[in-house]
């Protein structure tokens, strides 16, 4: 068996990227993309962070539907190079959407979304399902 020397000039993920781009639905402004997210839990909330650099906050929508957090929006590429002689074209434009299953019940009315330095941070306060109510038993005398 002969070994094939790895060459750094070959991008091992290029074929996978091209395949994924083939299956992403096309939109009028370009192809769709799925933003990467980090989701973690604090004592009081579920927090989701996603980098959306270059996307205007007014073009982003965040909503809670049942136990799903849905982030969607659109980015437009306002300028293109007249000569389409690209060596690489990896900057994406078009619509995006990401639906995330929330790990527990959250207060949908209190969800906050902040955009700072190209990162969207969504904070969804947890609802306390474990609240207990103590009911005193009234003793009636006969």
| pLDDT surpasses 60 at 125 | yes
pLDDT digits (tens, 9 = 90+) for 70-121: 999 988 766 655 667 777 777 777 888 899 999 988 999 999 999 999 999 9
Range of the structural domain that residue 67 is part of = 34-76+92-128
CATH number at residue 60: 2.60.40.790
What domain count does the chain have? 1
pTM of the full predicted structure?
Answer: 0.65
Q: Is residue 14 part of a domain?
A: no
Q: How far apart are CA 58 and CA 51, in angstroms?
A: 15
The single residue listed with the structure tokens 């929006």 is 73
29 lies in a domain?
A: no
Residue 66 falls inside a structural domain: yes
pLDDT value of residue 49:
96
């Amino acid at each position: 068996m002969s070994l094939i020397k790895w060459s750094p000039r070959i991008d091992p993920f290029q074929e996978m990227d091209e395949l994924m781009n083939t299956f992403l639905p096309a939109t009028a402004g370009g192809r769709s993309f799925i933003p990467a997210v980090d989701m973690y839990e604090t004592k009081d909330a579920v927090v989701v962070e996603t980098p959306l650099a270059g996307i205007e906050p007014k073009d982003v929508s965040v909503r809670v539907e049942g136990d799903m957090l849905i982030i969607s929006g659109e980015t437009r590429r306002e300028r293109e190079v007249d000569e389409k002689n690209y060596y690489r074209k990896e900057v994406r434009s078009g619509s995006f959407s990401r639906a995330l299953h929330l790990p527990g019940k959250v207060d949908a009315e209190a969800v906050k979304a902040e955009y700072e330095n190209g990162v969207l941070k969504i904070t969804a306060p947890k609802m306390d399902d474990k609240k207990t109510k103590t009911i005193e038993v009234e003793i009636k005398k006969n």
